[in-house]
Amino acid sequence: MNFQQMRILDLRKELKKRGLKGYSSLKKEHLIQYLSTGIHPLKNTQKQRTTVEEKIHESSPTIFTDITEELPINQILSGDCLNVLKTLPDGVFDCCVTDPPFNMSKKKGLGWAFSSHITMQEQWDIFSKDDYFQFTVNWIREVLRVLKTNGNLFIFGSFHCIFTIGFILQNIFDRRIISQIVWFKPNAQPNITCRMFTESTEFIIWAVNNESKKAKNWTFNYETMKAMNNDKQMRNMWEIPLTPRSERKHGKHPSQKPESVVNRIILAGTNEDDLILDPFSGSGTTAVVAEKQNRKWIMIEKNEEYNQIAKMRIDESTYKLFEDNSNY
Ligand SMILES: C[S@@+](CC[C@H](N)C(=O)[O-])C[C@H]1O[C@@H](n2cnc3c(N)ncnc32)[C@H](O)[C@@H]1O
């Protein structure tokens, strides 16, 4: 549904249909926001919080306290992250590093009539525009709830999704964006259509879990980054090749990230013993790097095949630490 193109009357009808209340005096932009998030745009956050908490307790038999020992530390939780996140308590993670679906797959793959070359064709990566927007609002809302105030959030994306993710962080949740990192892939695949530039970048949005004006005291290991960059300030353009074959030896994942990109994020934005979340774990790259850098982690992934790859990689990484961070 394209809310922007709907008349106020129809927006109100849609809210009514969804059982949402208190919309009669709202302006069009607020009606759209209410439909997109399910949260009343003008009611105070305390009230919204209670509603979210009520839902957690309804949907989950596990009621955690804030004691981190009770959390499933260093475990992969199998299932849909929208359900699994609801079983976790508020404000327990120091950081979230995640690589969500980009909504770039096509039912027949991204191919070309004159070539057998087919890339992304993953069911988990196919959404309508509106469904993708709503899905992104839903998982980001849950991640912000389980992250500590002023905790770091790093989200990967390509041009297919990064504007949507940025809009949601800035305009729906009013979170502070600290940086956008550009990951440049010097060995990216050529463009088979020859109708556009060769896609050779991905982006990482770094946001802090607080309202933009209130965000403070976020973790940034400036000196570590400088040391990794020949004693010069680390820039936000990282030239790092695609995932090497050696990191895929336990099985293939269509969008596995190189450990070296995730390693740089984790060293920049977390400290030893911090607890890191990745709700779209895939082949477990975030956990692999967290293990190697002495951070705690909780992963969520709905595909069992990917979880098996992740387990093998994590087991191996426990024994094989990065010997020299400067290589990454
Ligand atoms: C882009 S991949 C992550 C790849 C990962 N960074 C790696 O290095 O292997 C996204 C992953 O999210 C998973 N996924 C998609 N929707 C999900 C959901 N609602 N809950 C949990 N996992 C989901 C997919 O199965 C896929 O493995």
CATH (domain of 162): 3.40.50.150
Q: Which residues pair with 75 in a beta bridge?
A: 298
Query: What is the pLDDT, as a whole number, of residue 28?
Result: 86
How many angstroms does the Cα of residue 322 sit away from the middle of ligand 1? 25
Asked, for residue 164, whether it belongs to a domain, the answer is: yes
CA of 298 to the centre of ligand 1 (A): 14
User: Which residues, other chains included, contact 84 with Cβ-Cβ below 8 Å and sequence gap of 6+?
Assistant: 77, 279, 300
**Is pLDDT at 76 greater than 80 in this prediction?**
yes
Euclidean distance between the first and the last CA atom of the chain, given in angstroms as a whole number: 44
Q: Inform me whether the pLDDT recorded for 106 exceeds 90.
A: no
Each residue's pLDDT tens digit, 171-184: 999 999 999 999 99
Residue 260 is assigned to a structural domain of this protein: yes
293 is a domain residue: yes
Confidence category of residue 204, pLDDT binned at 50, 70, 90: very high
Can you give the pTM of this predicted structure?
A: 0.79
| Residue 28 located in a structural domain | no
Q: From 131, 276, 302, 306, give the residue whose CB has the most ligand 1 atoms within 8 Å, as the site to mutate.
A: 302
Mean pLDDT of 297-308: 97
In the chain, the number of structural domains is 1
pLDDT recorded at residue 122: 85
Better-scored residue on pLDDT, 210 or 327: 210
Structure confidence at residue 303 as a pLDDT band (50, 70, 90): very high
Higher pLDDT, 112 or 76: 76
* Higher-pLDDT residue of 215, 48: 215
Average pLDDT of the chain is 87
Residue 36 within any structural domain of the chain: no
Residue nearest to atom 19 of ligand 1 (CA): 80
pLDDT bucket at 259, cuts 50 / 70 / 90 = very high
Ligand 1 atom index nearest CA of 82: 19
| From 41-55, 149-163, 296-310, the region with the lowest mean pLDDT | 41-55
Please check whether residue 224 lies inside any domain of the structure. yes
Q: pLDDT digit string (tens) for 15-35?
A: 888 878 788 778 888 888 888
Tell me, yes or no, whether 29 lies in a domain.
no
User: pLDDT band for position 319 (50/70/90)?
Assistant: low
Strand intervals (E) in the chain: 75-78, 93-98, 147-157, 175-184, 201-211, 237-239, 275-278, 296-301
What is the spatial distance between Cα 108 and Cα 151, in angstroms, rounded to a whole number?
39
- What Cα–Cα distance (Å) separates residue 308 from each residue in 84, 97, 241, 252? 18, 20, 25, 11
What distance in angstroms lies between residue 280's CA and the mean position of ligand 1's atoms?
4
Q: Which structural domain, as residue segments, surrounds residue 172? A: 67-327
From the CA of 283, give the closest atom in ligand 1: 9
